[in-house]
């Protein structure tokens, strides 16, 4: 009986190692194109549809514009961290803030989630799906099933772009879709923030212990 139990445990161990993937092995970013620009639509938790336009240059800088109303910028610093700027066009306000203070304010953004769309959960299981790869122009993606304690969803991941081209919920409803994408050179002007007529706030200074 003990021998049978050990055999079962060993089988389960092999099954887990064979079919369960690590986050890094499924959602690889190492071979991503240096420049990535895309337009996507997504559905939020309230069922509202939004449009996102996005620019990324390597791991150095990025810009995200949501519905043409809010822009998020991230620039890699000499120290290897990132400096963030949030531009609210409706309020004509520009916030300068670090990742630490973003977390303190309850906005759990970091470079990975901003640059690669997915937010890595604390607990998860990933399996490769036997599903036909999806293609958008010259870019293709492979399907993975991500299981979290509270939700399950499918991600079609493009290694060349290091972003998902499609994300579907547990009912196969598309909640994220890249509509246009290119890897052409992105000029520095894209990341230039026009500060004219903006109210600027350095959140890091405001939240400084001093």
Better pLDDT: 96 or 11: 96
pLDDT of residue 199: 93
pLDDT of residue 20: 79
What is the pLDDT averaged over residues 25-41?
Answer: 96
pLDDT of residue 205: 65
Asked if pLDDT for residue 2 goes beyond 90, the answer is no
- In CATH, the number for domain 31-207 is 2.50.20.10
Asked if pLDDT for residue 175 goes beyond 90, the answer is yes
Task: For residue 105, name the pLDDT band (cuts at 50, 70, 90).
Answer: low
Give CA separation, 104 vs 67, 81, 107, 108, 119, in Å.
25, 16, 7, 9, 18
pLDDT of residue 73: 96
pLDDT of residue 56: 98
What is the pLDDT averaged over residues 138-165?
Answer: 97
- Chain-centre distance of CA 17, in angstroms? 26
pLDDT of residue 178: 98
- In three-state form (DSSP H/G/I as H, E/B as E, the rest C), the secondary structure along 51-110 is EEEEEEECCCEEEEEECCCEEEEEEECCCCCEEEEEEECCCCEEEEEEHHHHHHCCCCCC
Give CA separation, 56 vs 49, 85, 107, in Å.
23, 15, 20
Better pLDDT: 202 or 128: 128
Element (H, E) at 205: helix 203-206
Asked if pLDDT for residue 17 goes beyond 50, the answer is no
Give the residue extent of every domain in the chain.
31-207
pLDDT of residue 110: 83
How many percent of the chain have pLDDT more than 70? 82
What is the pLDDT averaged over residues 157-178?
Answer: 97
Task: For residue 12, name the pLDDT band (cuts at 50, 70, 90).
Answer: very low
């Amino acid at each position: 009986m003990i021998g049978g139990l050990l055999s079962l445990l060993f089988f389960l161990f092999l099954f887990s190692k064979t079919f369960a993937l690590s986050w890094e092995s499924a959602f690889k970013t190492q071979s991503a194109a240096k420049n990535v620009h895309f337009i996507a639509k997504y559905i939020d938790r309230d069922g509202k549809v939004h449009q996102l336009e996005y620019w990324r240059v390597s791991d150095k800088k990025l810009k995200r514009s949501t519905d043409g109303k809010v822009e998020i910028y991230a620039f890699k610093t000499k120290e290897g961290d990132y400096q963030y700027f949030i531009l609210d066009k409706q309020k004509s306000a520009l916030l300068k803030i670090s990742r630490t203070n973003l977390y303190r304010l309850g906005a759990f953004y970091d470079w990975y989630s901003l640059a690669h769309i997915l937010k890595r959960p604390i607990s998860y299981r990933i399996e490769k799906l036997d599903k036909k790869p999806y293609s958008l122009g010259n870019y293709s993606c492979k399907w993975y099933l991500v299981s979290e304690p509270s939700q399950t969803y499918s991600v079609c991941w493009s290694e060349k772009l290091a972003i998902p081209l499609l994300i579907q919920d547990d009912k196969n409803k598309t909640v994220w879709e890249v509509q246009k994408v290119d890897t052409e050179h992105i000029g520095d002007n894209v990341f230039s923030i026009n500060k004219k007529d903006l109210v600027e706030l350095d959140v890091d200074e405001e939240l400084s212990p001093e």
